[in-house]
């Protein structure tokens, strides 16, 4: 399976998001909203849902911060590693803000 790493326009804040350096980004580093494009593997782009995903929580394991996202349509959940470009200081505020989406 080929990894797809491409730039995109955020479906929430409408900012242009560039390609990731070492991974395949699918969440906005500014507002943390994602598009439900993956199913089983973080870069498979193998779902037909294509709905908004919001961060619900995060955890650090082995010094790596992972954000848990949940789809607001089908409720599928998956974790993504924090990107160095993520505005991580705002993550808790956005998690609180998005709680009403579920």
At 46-81, the pLDDT tens digits run 678 879 999 999 999 999 999 999 999 999 998 888
Higher pLDDT, 71 or 84: 71
Model-level pTM greater than 0.75?
yes
Please classify residue 36 by burial: count the beta carbons closer than 10 Å to its beta carbon, then call 0-12 exposed, 13-18 middle and 19+ buried. Answer: buried
Higher pLDDT, 48 or 21: 48
Q: What is the dihedral of CA 25, 59, 53, 76, to 10 degrees?
A: 110
């Amino acid at each position: 399976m080929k990894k797809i790493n491409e730039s995109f326009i955020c479906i929430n804040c409408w900012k242009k998001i560039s390609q990731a350096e070492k991974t395949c980004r699918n969440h906005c580093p500014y507002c943390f909203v994602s598009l439900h494009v993956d199913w089983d593997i973080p870069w498979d782009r193998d779902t037909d849902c294509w709905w908004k995903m919001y961060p619900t929580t995060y955890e650090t394991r082995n010094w790596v911060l992972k954000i848990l996202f949940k789809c607001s349509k089908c409720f599928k959940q998956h974790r993504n590693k924090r990107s160095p470009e993520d505005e991580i200081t705002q993550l808790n505020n956005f998690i609180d803000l998005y709680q009403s989406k579920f």
